[in-house]
Amino acid sequence: MIKKKLIYFISIFLLFTFNAYSIVLEKTPIELNFPWGMSWLNSEELLITQKTGEIYLVNTKNSSQIQISHNIPSIFFGQGGLLDIVSEKNIVWVTCSIQKGRKYTTAVYRAELQNNKLINEKLIYEALPYIDNGKHFGSRIEIFDDYLYVSVGERGKGMIAQDFTNSIGSIIRIHKNGEYPKDNPFIKGNNWLPELFQIGVRNPQGMTLDPQTKTIYISNHGPKGGDFIGKVVSGSNYGWKKIGWGGINYSGTKIGDGNAWEPGFLKPEFIWVPSIAVSGIKFYEGNAFPQWKDSLLVSSLKYKYLSVLHRKNNEFVEEEVIFKDKIGRVRDIEIDQSGNVYIIADETNSNLFILKP
């Protein structure tokens, strides 16, 4: 019996050293399958989505787990499913892939949470056109002031991300009710769609607000090389697929003229070659790990790690891997009021994990 208890203890707490200080990686009893997004409902409760369509309300104090019933018609297909989630009081917004006929797109739903159930679900945005594959839906969502910023992947269609008459391969900005802001870039006379805020991205699967500069940042999947972190800037263009940020096509051929950047396009803030399959990102503002203050936590699907991207004078200067190969494909990150880091992995038969000092 003692031996069994010891084995259980070791499986729950992994203690390791990072830059001369200790970190505990705690495996909670919260069981998950292909989780994708997280959002704090309050200081103790997390909402967690699964690509397969479930939403859980998790109490981080007593490790209770309640499934939230809903009627959001997400479709689990290819890279799509029920994706990101944000909340404000009892209002919840989710991004997901939806289907029309034999085609699919990225959509945003708004709902109210009442008695462990989503009610008054409403489709407030759908990216057009619908496309007949399961690639590159994005999609993260972030609240800033009265706006929702939403990332939409280019669905594997490349140069479509340069076409501002559709919303594929872009960052959109809408009001919380789905209406289009009057100060979006289209007002300046460039004929963009009214929801477009930024174009030229490939598959942005991370988004976070920098509390220092009040700027939205995204993470974006390059092809074979060229993953990046970059700012969301009104009216800007990251250049996909005229440029590949240092990456090449999977066939080995160059993208465009082979340049990592060209004049007229926005420069990323940090680039990975080879790609790490970057996903969720989060600026660290907690007190549990003061060494990470104002730096960016980064998740890697391909290399299965969580890292801290250190920042100096508002520039990212060095990446340090915190852990690797301990929980699988790291998908998303959240931080509680004490600065503890909550982590989910895009794996079946997985759990919610917590980093503590």
Quote the pLDDT of residue 22. 82
How many beta carbons lie within 10 A of that of residue 237, not counting itself?
18
The model's pLDDT over 259-272, given as tens digits with 9 standing for 90+, comes to 999 999 999 999 99
- Say whether domain 30-277+309-318 belongs to CATH 3.30.450.40: no
pLDDT along the chain (357 residues), means of 10: 33 58 91 98 97 98 96 97 97 98 98 97 98 97 97 97 95 98 80 93 98 96 97 97 95 92 96 97 95 96 98 93 97 97 97 96
Rounded to whole angstroms, the maximal C-alpha distance in the chain is: 73
How far is the C-alpha of 225 from the C-alpha of 245, rounded, in Å?
8
* CA dist 331 → 140, 300, 342, 350 (Å): 12, 7, 11, 12
pLDDT number for residue 192: 85
- C-beta of residue 57 within 8 angstroms of C-beta of residue 116: yes
- Closest Cα to residue 51, out of 285, 354, 277, 347? 347
Taking the model in full, what pTM does it have?
A: 0.94
Give the pLDDT confidence score for residue 20 in this predicted structure: 60
Strands across the sheet containing 305-312 = 278-283, 296-300, 305-312, 315-324
pLDDT of 188-210, one tens digit each?
666 789 999 999 999 999 999 99
| Residue 2 contacts residue 18 (beta carbons within 8 Å) | no
160: phi then psi, degrees, rounded to nearest 5 = -60, -25
Give residue limits of the domains in the chain.
Answer: 1-29+278-308+319-357, 30-277+309-318
